[in-house]
Structure 1
Amino acid sequence: MIVKDATTGLSLAPHAVNTRRDGSDLYLTTRVPLDPVVSDTSVWLDRYARQTPDAVAVAERAGEGWREITYGELLPMVQAIGASLSGRGYGTQSPIAILSGNSIDHLLLSLGAQYVGVPTVPLAEQYSLITEAHGRLNYVLEKVRPAAVFVDDAAKYAAALALPNIDGMEVFASRTEGAPRPVTGFDTLLAGDTSVDLAAAHATVGPDTVAKILFTSGSSSDPKGVLTTQRMMCANQAQMASVLPFLKERAHRITDWLPWNHVFGGSHNVNMMLSTGGTLTIDAGKPTKALFGETVRTLIDRPGTLSFNVPVGFALLVQEMEENLALRQAYFEDLDMIFYAGASLPQPVWTRLEEMAMEVRGRLPLMIASWGMTETAPATIMLHEPIGRSGVVGVPLPGTEIKLMPDDEMRCELRVKGPNITPGYFGDPAKTAEAFDGDGFLITGDAVRFVNDDDPDRGLVFDGRVSEDFKLLTGTWVQAGRLRLDALEALRGLVQDIVICGHDRGEIGLLIFPKAGVVHDTNTSNGACVDEHLMADIHHVLTDLARAKTGSAKRISRALILAEPASLKDHEITDKGSLNVRRIITRRADLLERLYDNEDPALIRV
């Protein structure tokens, strides 16, 4: 079933979907067989420590040089850390919270803990570095009650380490200077513990052992701790290797910034390198104005053969490569695959990436996307053939089954089942029970539709969140996710983000967070902005948008510009940077009422 693709020159499994119906519900699986699944992540480390001991497993910049760990060095270091943790009595009931971001020591601690069955809890570093976000940090610490915490720099994280909720926990730190409380140097863990029967401790680890507890971003409620087992992570890598067999044909390289407290960076990307004997270069940059320069420098020094990013990251890369020919050459010269997730990649960005690839290399890389979530480890649906356009997420991966429940708008609610699905949420049996239907499928809350209703092999397109949808007073359903994307595209350059409103109202309205720099008149009216020029610009765009829409479910009729940006302190922003819509509407209930007051002077009426 494996073919050598003529466009990319890569070995790929073709889309081949089985379908069955049960009433109105449609079930999809793939005909591609699943590769063997290892029992736990240590199998990968042992394999490459023997087969390619001199190959670099992970690298990070250290001053003007690089710190590198080979596979031959990696396994003994992981085993030493595992022995040290076991010697302290740590086990399945004594998780370790990781407060700092991506680093070699972070990876070593995670793998050492996994080796002996100690769960780690990687957290967004802004929880610790931003005082206003300490509420989220305290919430997780109180929920999990870890036995220990880790930071790469005790002085940098001093404010978080001083929190009372860390009292009684052991603190590990790569750099111990400036700590506000006693800390244990990371080198102590690397020294190991010869009194421990490491083989016995390791023997307790199996497919159902919890490796990590990954907290969701909390976009609609408090974050949930997703139990991530060895089976989930190992099965997911086998699933992807089954449909992308070129991953097994050479040792690939990635240069990656994506944070490890999220499943995309920490499970999908890290484990893809470890499971195939590849090299992970840690990029200390980010797709922000302040840090993107570091990403550019790292990509030129250590370009990858695979590239993973979110759409805003690829957009910045394209913009930089228009002038930076050294980056363009380095990025594309040995690139096999471009993979985006998090949102749909704008088609102009996709097209320009293809054009640049042809200029540098003379052939296209495989450009694909996937659908997944923290609860699915993450990949469950994946595009694994060239398609030439953005927005398609593909077909089910081997071993998974998806249930599609159609609605009246030619789209389907998505539910999933497979070995990569979480068993539930930490300390929350009620939410765990709510997460699955009577047939054992995970209720994702997402909607999809077919690229071609007559040909399931062409795959699925993500079509918003079912949970974001609402009804107008007329009983008409509003597909808020799709409408939001349309409005953001139309208002590009004027808005930072928007909230779609209208539940139990007669019309759809917008609460608008304006883009920095577009507000020139600072006159406000109790939380609303009344910049007449900006209001006129938005009115013009929404009027044009309304002309192109038919029906009350697609027509935005009013808007209000918010004077105050979304607040991290008040949990209006998740750690992924997305809006917590429920929190915004609750906290700003008075502004929601003004949005539907036709006499309000700040109202933009279309």
Structure 2
Amino acid sequence: MTDTIPRLLRDAADRFGGAPAYVEGDRVLPFTQLHDLVRATAAGYRARGLEPGGRVVVWAPNSINWVVAALAVSYAGGTLVPVNSRYTGHEVADVVDRTGATLVLVADGFLGRTQVADLRAASDLARVADIIEITDLDAVAVPAGDLGVIDGVADAVSPDDVADILFTSGTTGRSKGAMSAHRQTIGVAMAWAELGGVRSEDRYLVVNPFFHSFGYKIGIVVGLLTGATLYPVATFDLDETMALIETAQISLLPGAPTIYQSLLNAPGRTDRDLSSLRLAVTGAAVVPVVLIERMRAPAPEGLGIDQVVTAFGMTEAVVATMCREDDSAETVATTCGRAIPGMEARIDAPDGEAGELLLRGDYVMLGYLDDPAATAEAIDADGWLHTGDVGTLDEAGNLRITDRLKDMYISGGFNVYPAEVEQALARLDGVADVAVVGVPDERMGEVGKAYVVRTDPGPTTGLTAEAVVAFCKERLANFKVPRHVEFVDGLPRNLSGKVLKTQLRSS
């Protein structure tokens, strides 16, 4: 098995040669050229101060340049730190400072924002040697004749070196960096690809963002393993997505349930030929049985996707369970499948009862960056990862998630941790107390609802729902911003002072 990302990249160039690795608009990038660009960019990183073990933050939407920029980090012996393309400058600056990143790659101007200026305003970036515009990688690249040293650096990368640090918020509101080794990032991608039957002739539309483990490991790394051609999508547009599926004959389309619901309800869908779709993998939220049935049903009633499966994963373990090709629609919709090879799942409760889901195996993270206490709390002495999710396992080993120990909710496929939103709102003038919960939403699965206690409860107060939302938009990524605001006289609490969020959700 190819056990480091640099060796995987080189192996993919040898195996798949001139076959297209990526297609983005009119740009087609073969595997051999991908390898060449990554080598040259990695050498450029080294010239700008990146040493083996150094960290590089990538803050940008999906693109071929994102792939080159990220793979070059590994090729230079560094550690990739992807961040959400919709994060604010304050959120990214926190990650940059905590990782001590040497380089930051940015898509300045994405969504009409000023990322570089926002980042500099939020931090002095004391340890950053350079901020690089991701669309200008040619200016970073080193000429081909000067690449001998960087090939040696790539060869020295070990399977146990930290390949990536993906940040996930904790219930305290402060993000934690989950570290994975090269062997883990590659191994989990291989397990997923084998269960899904991904092959070189597949055309894979990557709607999942590359900064997420699903887009990076189950997208980019799967492509290198299988030779599938990836089509990166920067922002999801329904009409453009349907047109691309039709014209490019897309065969793979993993994503959150909202993607498929949008396709099924799209005006003009029946006028499109989407019959090339053969594999869809979904999860991250409750999936209605009828959605799976419609995804599998032939057109015009459905999407006619041959294989539809669900899976369970998290940043700390990427993919832990997955349905199989011959599972029924009921099994796919109501469970997350069985443990994948290399992983174990058990419930911390007597047989047949619901309890906390524990995971153990090859793909559980190495630990949280610079946080041994949080690591010890998450992974016990026997190697079991305590997920914070409550579920059951049936006789066949299929996992059913029934509740959450944490207050996290999932909006459009992204985890949202209310404590982080609450901490932001606590800084808003006029807020005396606040609690955020997830509430059902037909399109997004769940969205945030903020219950706000004003410091001035009188009718002349200046604090409005619009002001609450606007304040959040300045400080938080869009998917974290509450969609609903309700002003209340007080929050329900138990005797220890904890907010009774179950009571809020049922109100």
- TM-score w.r.t. the length of structure 2 is 0.79
2:5 paired residue number: 41
Deviation at 1:84, TM superposition (A): 2.5
1:106 paired residue number: 66
Deviation at 1:139, TM superposition (A): 1.5
Report the AA paired with residue 430 of structure 1.
A
- Choose which of 268, 281, 285 in structure 1 pairs with 2:235: 285
Go from structure 1 to structure 2 and tell me whether the alpha carbon gap of 1:568 and 1:38 turns closer, same or farther (over 3 Å shift): farther
Q: Is 1:215 matched up with 2:167?
A: yes
- Choose which of 331, 337, 341 in structure 2 pairs with 1:398: 341
Deviation at 1:210, TM superposition (A): 1.5
Deviation at 1:42, TM superposition (A): 3.0
Deviation at 1:231, TM superposition (A): 1.3
Secondary structure of the corresponding residue to residue 175 of structure 2: coil
Structure 2 Cα separation of the partners of residues 225 and 285 of structure 1: 25
2:321 paired residue number: 381
Secondary structure of the corresponding residue to residue 141 of structure 2: helix
Secondary structure of the corresponding residue to residue 337 of structure 2: strand
- Choose which of 8, 21, 44 in structure 2 pairs with 1:57: 21
**CA deviation digits over 1:8-28, x for unaligned, max 9?**
xxxxxxxxxxxxxxxxxxxxx
Structure 2 Cα separation of the partners of residues 158 and 76 of structure 1: 28
Deviation at 1:69, TM superposition (A): 0.7
**CA deviation digits over 1:381-434, x for unaligned, max 9?**
111133113131011111112232116992121111111111111122221222
With a CA cutoff of 8 Å and minimum separation of 6, indicate the structure with the bigger relative contact order: 1
Contact kept in structure 2, 1:371 and 1:382, CA below 8 Å: yes
Structure 1 Cα separation of the partners of residues 294 and 300 of structure 2: 10
**CA deviation digits over 1:488-516, x for unaligned, max 9?**
55x869x97466xxxxxxxxxxx679xxx
Contact kept in structure 2, 1:401 and 1:418, CA below 8 Å: yes
Gaps spanning 5+ residues in structure 1: where? 1-36, 128-132, 177-184, 470-486, 500-510, 514-522, 530-560, 597-602
Structure 2 Cα separation of the partners of residues 158 and 468 of structure 1: 33
Go from structure 1 to structure 2 and tell me whether the alpha carbon gap of 1:215 and 1:87 turns closer, same or farther (over 3 Å shift): same
Contact kept in structure 2, 1:305 and 1:335, CA below 8 Å: yes
Report the AA paired with residue 464 of structure 1.
D
- Choose which of 212, 217, 220 in structure 2 pairs with 1:267: 217
Deviation at 1:259, TM superposition (A): 1.3
**CA deviation digits over 1:102-141, x for unaligned, max 9?**
11111101111112321121111222xxxxx332122112
Report the AA paired with residue 166 of structure 1.
L
Contact kept in structure 2, 1:100 and 1:152, CA below 8 Å: yes
Q: Is 1:147 matched up with 2:97?
A: no
How do 1:526-541 residues align onto structure 2 when only pairs under 5 Å count?
none
Go from structure 1 to structure 2 and tell me whether the alpha carbon gap of 1:591 and 1:297 turns closer, same or farther (over 3 Å shift): farther
Deviation at 1:374, TM superposition (A): 0.5
Report the AA paired with residue 56 of structure 1.
P
Secondary structure of the corresponding residue to residue 69 of structure 1: strand
Go from structure 1 to structure 2 and tell me whether the alpha carbon gap of 1:209 and 1:234 turns closer, same or farther (over 3 Å shift): same
Root-mean-square deviation (CA), in Å?
A: 3.8
Contact kept in structure 2, 1:56 and 1:70, CA below 8 Å: yes
Deviation at 1:358, TM superposition (A): 8.0
1:337 paired residue number: 279
Deviation at 1:170, TM superposition (A): 0.6
Contact kept in structure 2, 1:100 and 1:125, CA below 8 Å: yes
Go from structure 1 to structure 2 and tell me whether the alpha carbon gap of 1:575 and 1:404 turns closer, same or farther (over 3 Å shift): farther
Structure 1 Cα separation of the partners of residues 227 and 93 of structure 2: 37
2:189 paired residue number: 237
* Identity in percent: 23
Contact kept in structure 2, 1:80 and 1:191, CA below 8 Å: yes
Secondary structure of the corresponding residue to residue 90 of structure 2: helix
How do 1:328-367 residues align onto structure 2 when only pairs under 5 Å count?
329=273, 331=274, 333-357=275-299, 365-367=306-308
1:297 paired residue number: 243
Deviation at 1:45, TM superposition (A): 2.5
Deviation at 1:72, TM superposition (A): 1.8
1:95 paired residue number: 55
**CA deviation digits over 1:215-261, x for unaligned, max 9?**
114564211111122111111023224434x324x431111221122
- TM-score w.r.t. the length of structure 1 is 0.67
Secondary structure of the corresponding residue to residue 197 of structure 1: helix
Gaps spanning 5+ residues in structure 2: where? 409-437, 453-457, 496-503
Go from structure 1 to structure 2 and tell me whether the alpha carbon gap of 1:366 and 1:492 turns closer, same or farther (over 3 Å shift): closer
How do 1:550-589 residues align onto structure 2 when only pairs under 5 Å count?
564-565=468-469, 568=472, 576-577=479-480
Go from structure 1 to structure 2 and tell me whether the alpha carbon gap of 1:594 and 1:434 turns closer, same or farther (over 3 Å shift): closer
Structure 2 Cα separation of the partners of residues 570 and 359 of structure 1: 42
Go from structure 1 to structure 2 and tell me whether the alpha carbon gap of 1:436 and 1:173 turns closer, same or farther (over 3 Å shift): same
1:426 paired residue number: 369
Report the AA paired with residue 382 of structure 1.
M
Contact kept in structure 1, 2:198 and 2:228, CA below 8 Å: no
Structure 1 Cα separation of the partners of residues 82 and 356 of structure 2: 30
Structure 2 Cα separation of the partners of residues 89 and 498 of structure 1: 42
Secondary structure of the corresponding residue to residue 463 of structure 1: strand
- Choose which of 151, 154, 159 in structure 1 pairs with 2:117: 159
Report the AA paired with residue 125 of structure 1.
S
Go from structure 1 to structure 2 and tell me whether the alpha carbon gap of 1:326 and 1:210 turns closer, same or farther (over 3 Å shift): farther
Contact kept in structure 1, 2:75 and 2:154, CA below 8 Å: yes
1:416 paired residue number: 359
Contact kept in structure 2, 1:227 and 1:425, CA below 8 Å: yes
1:324 paired residue number: 269
Structure 2 Cα separation of the partners of residues 527 and 100 of structure 1: 36
Deviation at 1:40, TM superposition (A): 1.3
2:76 paired residue number: 116
Contact kept in structure 1, 2:102 and 2:130, CA below 8 Å: yes
Go from structure 1 to structure 2 and tell me whether the alpha carbon gap of 1:340 and 1:265 turns closer, same or farther (over 3 Å shift): same
Report the AA paired with residue 137 of structure 1.
V
Contact kept in structure 1, 2:40 and 2:147, CA below 8 Å: no
Structure 1 Cα separation of the partners of residues 240 and 53 of structure 2: 39
2:255 paired residue number: 309
Q: Is 1:592 matched up with 2:491?
A: yes
Go from structure 1 to structure 2 and tell me whether the alpha carbon gap of 1:590 and 1:223 turns closer, same or farther (over 3 Å shift): farther
Contact kept in structure 2, 1:113 and 1:119, CA below 8 Å: yes
Structure 1 Cα separation of the partners of residues 505 and 211 of structure 2: 40
Structure 2 Cα separation of the partners of residues 358 and 334 of structure 1: 14
Go from structure 1 to structure 2 and tell me whether the alpha carbon gap of 1:202 and 1:456 turns closer, same or farther (over 3 Å shift): same
1:247 paired residue number: 198
- Choose which of 124, 129, 133 in structure 2 pairs with 1:173: 133
Structure 2 Cα separation of the partners of residues 497 and 525 of structure 1: 29
Aligned residues: 457
Q: Which one is further off, 275-284 or 261-270?
A: 261-270
Structure 1 Cα separation of the partners of residues 477 and 362 of structure 2: 28
Report the AA paired with residue 340 of structure 1.
T
